[in-house]
Amino acid sequence: MAPEDIKKLRQELGCTARELAGALGIEQETVLAWEHGDLFPTKRFVGRMEELRSKGPEAIPRKKRKQATASPLQLLSDPELWRLFRKLLSHPELRSAAIKLAEAYPDPTDAPPS
């Protein structure tokens, strides 16, 4: 398998070198060395990459990326928040249920200053 074939495989699978390495159980540096032509994959790894290709992008385990916490102003600009707020104002039974549900969650204003 040539370096350009490995790059093409990653494009087909929509994955990073790190993700491909994880799926193969090897280090990212090895995949990068294959892509640069410094090393070449053994027949065993070529077979495993072909299996991944046949399974498609779902075969690549991916870590969920940590999303940045939205600021209060960003949250206030969310139309879904205002839709929920209107429903809470309009439906007393929904408001009661939301109050009961919210009891299990700490109030951010009660947190000690950092």
The pLDDT score that the predictor gives to residue 28 is 95
The average pLDDT across 16-42 equals: 95
Query: Which residue has 């960003």 as its token pair?
Result: 74
Distance CA 39, CA 45 (A): 12
Least confident stretch, 40-49, 70-79, 101-110? 70-79
Instruction: Give the sign of the dihedral formed by CA 97, CA 103, CA 105, CA 107.
Output: positive
Residue 25 has pLDDT above 90, yes or no: yes
- What is the model's pTM? 0.56
Provide the b/e sequence for 14-23 (b: ≥16 CB within 10 Å).
Answer: ebebebbbbb
What phi and psi values does residue 41 have, to the nearest 5 degrees? -70, 145
